[in-house]
Structure 1
Amino acid sequence: MQPQVPEGKLPDAESMPDLLFTLPETHYPKRINAATELVDRHVEEGRGDDVAIYFEDEEITYADLQSRVNRFGNALSEIGVEAGSRVVVRFPNRPEAVVACLAVQKLGGVALPSMKLLRAKELEYIFNDAGATHCVVYDGLLDEVEGAMPNLDTLEEVIVVDRGAGVDHAYHDYDALLESGGSTLDAYDTERTDLALMLYTSGTTGRPKGAIHTHRQLLASADSYARYCLEPTREDVFGGNPPLPFAYGYGDLVTFPLRFGASTSLVENATPGDLLEAVEAHGITVLCSIPTAFNQMLAKHPDAPDEHDLSSLRAGMSAGEPLAPSTYDAVEDAYGIKLLDGIGTTEMLHIFVSHRHTDEVDPSATGFPVPGYECRVVDPDTREEVDRGEAGLLAVRGPTGITYWGRPDKQAESVVDGWSYPGDIFVHREDGRLEYKSRADDLIISSGYNIPGPEVENVVQELDSVSEVAVVGTPDEERGQVVKAFVVLAEGVEESDDLIDEIQTHVKNTLAPYKYPRAVEFVAELPRTETGKIQRVKLREREREQYED
């Protein structure tokens, strides 16, 4: 019996991306289960005593993790989770979230990690769209689930992890279920193309979209990017603060370390200071975050190399938003590691363009196509490949691809002739590197010139007086749009007209003069998603509303 998917939820064959499995490591057998590959295999091969998860003062070995996954999987089976079930897992970065996702996948179900800041209305849409039957939730995040319950069509059971808030008798208790379940569990006989993970996009440009991923694609994200660009070993410890429901975080903190028998360091609601402490306490070797967090670590903890033992670090990963060369240089100077920038999306599951840790990293470019992936830069209208050095729309093929749950309209837009189009503007340089310009909707068109907002941001960010910056196009009657910079000043710096002149002059002297920000606004903070990405769409909407008024 194969897992059932409701009719109309998978794209037609003609709209599916072409998946390429050119790497020998991605030649998986027809039947494979991601949970057994990530946990059971290590125990069977004699590595059960190795640490799988560090959390606070706890060390969870692979044998212990296997026992927890099996016991919780058996308990879930008793309350109706079966092959094909969609199960929402709603947590901060905690071990129970990893156990829940792996248990669901071992049963042949589909784990659906949920961002912790989502409100009841947003959860209502996701639950109903996915047809979720079960929810495993941290007690501190239960209230919004309860707020959504009156309008949920398919939810049958709720399991609560009680860590101090108290569990209502109407719900199942996670610890009680864990205690009741048997310690052995045979994995469901999943095929490599069966669904294992569903992640919803943030929905900044409309209602959220469910991106679906199979057992094979989960493993392939590790066997392409992680294996070739990071080269993990059992001695590695992955750590960072991307949320687990963020595709970047799920790969960094679950799939990658567990695929290679390494360890993951989980820090709940991590601040920059918490991350630095975790590096020392857990011996983190690969530090994963976003540019904003790296900048915060540098700004708020300038003496960190003297105050913490950071000698375990060997590499850093950055994704989620463009990495400024100035941030790359500052991290290398402070921590002695290369920060590998990467472009990836929820739909593609993880990074598909990056340098390798052994490369001579050029921080002005994102990097090369990750082994196993092919990339082209094409004309947005004709889909014909443009010349090297010319900006165009990025097209990608590899072991993962864009596949939406029940969104044939978006599927048709995002996959053309088998190529996935994540929506990014790139330049394919003569040296083979791909240089990021902007999201397609972040391109500013002013007096006929195409101006990538992130390119201007990188230059403004070079100034010591600037802490953070976001650049968007603001409506202008004469030019159509003009470049506007929203600037968060560094601590102790006061806004002034002279500072505006300095910012504008610096951009004029660094880039083509037409790219300089004709408008500069100082702000206390920038709008961000839960994953830390700058919400430029909110800035654009505000500018448009003010213009129309």
Structure 2
Amino acid sequence: MQEHVPSNKLPDAESAPELLHAVPEVHYEKSLNVATELVDTHVEDGHGDDPAIRFEGEEITYADLQERVNRFANALRDRGVEPGHRVLVRFPNRPEAIVACLAVQKLGGVALPSMKLLRAKELEYIVNDAGATHAVVYDDLLDELEEAMPELDTLETVIVAERGADVDHDHLRFDDMLEAGDPDLEAYDTERDDLALMLYTSGTTGRPKGAVHTHRQLLSTADTYARYCLEPDREDVFGGNPPLPFAYGYGDLVTFPLRFGATTSLVEDATPGDLLDAVDDHGITILCSIPTAFNQMLSEHPDAPSEYDLSSLRLGMSAGEPLSPSTFEAFQDDYGMTILDGIGTTEMLHIFVSHRHHDDVDPSATGFAVPGYECKVVDPETNEEVDRGEAGLLAVRGPTGISYWGRPEKQNDAVVDGWSYPGDIFVHKPNGRFEYKSRRDDLIISSGYNIPGPEVENVIQELEEVTEVAVIGAPDETRGQIVKAFVVTPEGVVTGESLETDIQNHVKNTLAPYKYPRAVEFVDELPRTETGKIQRVKLREREREHQAN
């Protein structure tokens, strides 16, 4: 077993982000613990009986949650968890995941939530890279971790939450530790800039990268985006299907509701139908998801507004992929609900460009810089700010920034002069809004023209015959690349040359003609990450392989 030295500080980096604290709500005391702020303060303020978590038929109050966190934290400390230790937390969206993360953070440790579909080889890399010493695992997700264990250098203890998978194991049991732990605990005296959360990127363009976040940064996402754009209160119920290990999901379903004394609705492995059930059963007011799920709700449940009680809904949140104007408008028409599109990243922790809920929302643009953040669009070669209306790379700074764990070369690429570069192409419009064009990797260059794939996708998505679409640049000997659309259609739609021509003509009549897809392929489904993002990189790789053969 490799000797492990705990660290709860940000790694030293030449290219550290310049953190701004431009709104008063993010001026925190030096001594700060996120678990105390999210749970204990509400109990101390007399709201211990308020609901914190709704899961299936169970309601967990803030007092219940505090006791569970304290018990599990004391049991973890008895099993060797120290300040700075990284603890793997491997669950679907269940209350045990929230309890485990908050318990680790209350001890001064660093919670490391893990996507549930990761295989043994991926877990091996992440656990060793982070130097994780302990793991808290859902029984149905234990097999891949056990397969990886012979190659894990630092992992000392595994705790299994037994929830019906009937898994034979010789590890510690979550429920036994919860029962044995003392219900009283004073939080470790963490400082605001101590590490609290570690999330790994999906690794679609190489090795996954560990993004680290502090107690102050976790709270600041709630005290900027959520406070100013959503304006939640204790009566709100946040719900949705982003996985908790997804930065977007962690904010939506943990940090935001608990920061404001609201309620989080958790649904394990939620389908669009499950989400509609949860709105009906749990009274969800703020529905958080991704464009794919919103589109599936529209296509698979066209009569949902009459079949479910959706009267509690007041607002939607979307991230992970651009939300098309057609989806925005369909939800507004059918549900009477505005969906706020936003852009955020694992590295930046949550959304930094969005409209606010009371804005006159322009669905063709992502929105404005979130209060507390500054954004600019720069020339990718010179890093000089470009004129309004001109496309370039987005640069961001605010109370969060890009900090990679042990990846100095990636750190230097991602942060320039204190500004974080998430890798997105935007236009800063004359009216102040930021309009998304594409990921830098998704820009199609055809016959010298720069064509943002998502712009073409939004137009194709307008057609009733299209459920989902992904647009990429496919290799072409004459043009360098051509625009190619991969299209998923609703059941019963006849595909073929006629529909291909309709799609091409619709794009030609809406956008500059050179942007139309010269190739259209109809597919049953699109490749996706576990968080629901379309993996265009896999489509591009497939096209390159086809050309090579």
Q: Which interval holds the TM-score relative to the shorter structure?
A: over 0.9
Number of the residue aligned with 1:69: 69
Aligned residue for 2:117, secondary structure, equals coil
- Separation in structure 2 between the aligned mates of residue 347 and residue 55 of structure 1, nearest angstrom: 29
Post-superposition CA distance 1:396-448 (Å, at most 9, x none): 00000000000001000000000000000000000000000000000000011
**CA drift at 1:270:** 0.4
- Separation in structure 2 between the aligned mates of residue 416 and residue 367 of structure 1, nearest angstrom: 24
- Separation in structure 2 between the aligned mates of residue 11 and residue 383 of structure 1, nearest angstrom: 24
**CA drift at 1:166:** 3.3
**CA drift at 1:92:** 0.3
Number of the residue aligned with 2:434: 434
- Separation in structure 1 between the aligned mates of residue 147 and residue 201 of structure 2, nearest angstrom: 21
Number of the residue aligned with 2:548: 548
**CA drift at 1:491:** 1.6
Number of the residue aligned with 2:447: 447
Question: TM-score, normalization: structure 1?
Answer: 0.98
- Separation in structure 2 between the aligned mates of residue 445 and residue 297 of structure 1, nearest angstrom: 34
**CA drift at 1:494:** 1.3
Alignment partner of 1:83 is 2:83: yes
- Separation in structure 1 between the aligned mates of residue 61 and residue 93 of structure 2, nearest angstrom: 18
Aligned residue for 1:188, secondary structure, equals coil
- Separation in structure 2 between the aligned mates of residue 23 and residue 173 of structure 1, nearest angstrom: 44
Aligned residue for 1:466, secondary structure, equals coil
Post-superposition CA distance 1:183-206 (Å, at most 9, x none): 000100000000000000000000
Post-superposition CA distance 1:492-528 (Å, at most 9, x none): 1011101111000000000000000000001110000
Number of the residue aligned with 1:531: 531
Post-superposition CA distance 1:142-196 (Å, at most 9, x none): 0000010010000000000001123545200000000000000010000000000
Alignment partner of 1:10 is 2:14: no
Query: Which amino acid is 1:345 matched to?
Result: T
- Separation in structure 2 between the aligned mates of residue 346 and residue 6 of structure 1, nearest angstrom: 19
Aligned residue for 2:547, secondary structure, equals helix
Aligned residue for 1:15, secondary structure, equals coil
- Separation in structure 2 between the aligned mates of residue 51 and residue 481 of structure 1, nearest angstrom: 54
Number of the residue aligned with 2:460: 460
- Separation in structure 2 between the aligned mates of residue 538 and residue 168 of structure 1, nearest angstrom: 37
Number of the residue aligned with 1:407: 407
- Separation in structure 1 between the aligned mates of residue 341 and residue 204 of structure 2, nearest angstrom: 23
Query: Which amino acid is 2:506 matched to?
Result: H
Contact persistence 2:394–2:421 (CA under 8 A): yes
**CA drift at 1:353:** 0.1
Q: What CA RMSD, in Å, does the superposition of the two structures yield over aligned residues?
A: 1.0
Map 1:125-524 → 2, pairs under 5 A: 125-166=125-166, 168=168, 170-524=170-524
Contact persistence 2:8–2:84 (CA under 8 A): no
**CA drift at 1:545:** 1.1
Query: Which amino acid is 2:492 matched to?
Result: G
**CA drift at 1:137:** 0.3
Alignment partner of 1:38 is 2:38: yes
- Separation in structure 1 between the aligned mates of residue 394 and residue 335 of structure 2, nearest angstrom: 32
Post-superposition CA distance 1:20-72 (Å, at most 9, x none): 00110000000100000000000000000000000000000000000000000
Query: Which amino acid is 1:197 matched to?
Result: L
Contact persistence 1:11–1:405 (CA under 8 A): no
Map 1:91-130 → 2, pairs under 5 A: 91-130=91-130
Contact persistence 2:140–2:167 (CA under 8 A): no
**CA drift at 1:334:** 1.3
Moved more, 168-177 or 525-534: 168-177
Query: Which amino acid is 1:203 matched to?
Result: G
Query: Which amino acid is 1:545 matched to?
Result: E
- Separation in structure 2 between the aligned mates of residue 350 and residue 11 of structure 1, nearest angstrom: 23
Query: Which amino acid is 1:260 matched to?
Result: F
Contact persistence 1:238–1:285 (CA under 8 A): yes
Contact persistence 2:161–2:175 (CA under 8 A): yes
Query: Which amino acid is 2:210 matched to?
Result: G
Aligned residue for 1:163, secondary structure, equals coil
Query: Which amino acid is 1:366 matched to?
Result: T
Number of the residue aligned with 2:29: 29
- Separation in structure 2 between the aligned mates of residue 250 and residue 457 of structure 1, nearest angstrom: 28
- Separation in structure 1 between the aligned mates of residue 128 and residue 293 of structure 2, nearest angstrom: 34
**CA drift at 1:264:** 0.2
Contact persistence 2:8–2:85 (CA under 8 A): no
Aligned residue for 2:132, secondary structure, equals coil
**CA drift at 1:344:** 0.2
- Separation in structure 2 between the aligned mates of residue 197 and residue 529 of structure 1, nearest angstrom: 21
Contact persistence 1:4–1:83 (CA under 8 A): yes
Query: Which amino acid is 1:39 matched to?
Result: V
Aligned residue for 2:468, secondary structure, equals strand
- Separation in structure 2 between the aligned mates of residue 436 and residue 484 of structure 1, nearest angstrom: 20
Aligned residue for 2:312, secondary structure, equals coil
Contact persistence 2:7–2:83 (CA under 8 A): no
- Separation in structure 2 between the aligned mates of residue 293 and residue 193 of structure 1, nearest angstrom: 35
- Separation in structure 2 between the aligned mates of residue 548 and residue 5 of structure 1, nearest angstrom: 47
Post-superposition CA distance 1:364-415 (Å, at most 9, x none): 0000000000000000000000000000000000000000000001000000
Contact persistence 1:55–1:265 (CA under 8 A): yes
Aligned residue for 2:284, secondary structure, equals coil
Query: Which amino acid is 2:313 matched to?
Result: L
Contact persistence 1:11–1:406 (CA under 8 A): no
Query: Which amino acid is 2:459 matched to?
Result: V
- Which consecutive segments of 4 or more residues in structure 1 shift more than 4 A? none
Query: Which amino acid is 1:504 matched to?
Result: Q
Contact persistence 1:224–1:371 (CA under 8 A): yes
Post-superposition CA distance 1:455-483 (Å, at most 9, x none): 00000000100111000000011110000
Question: TM-score, normalization: structure 2?
Answer: 0.98
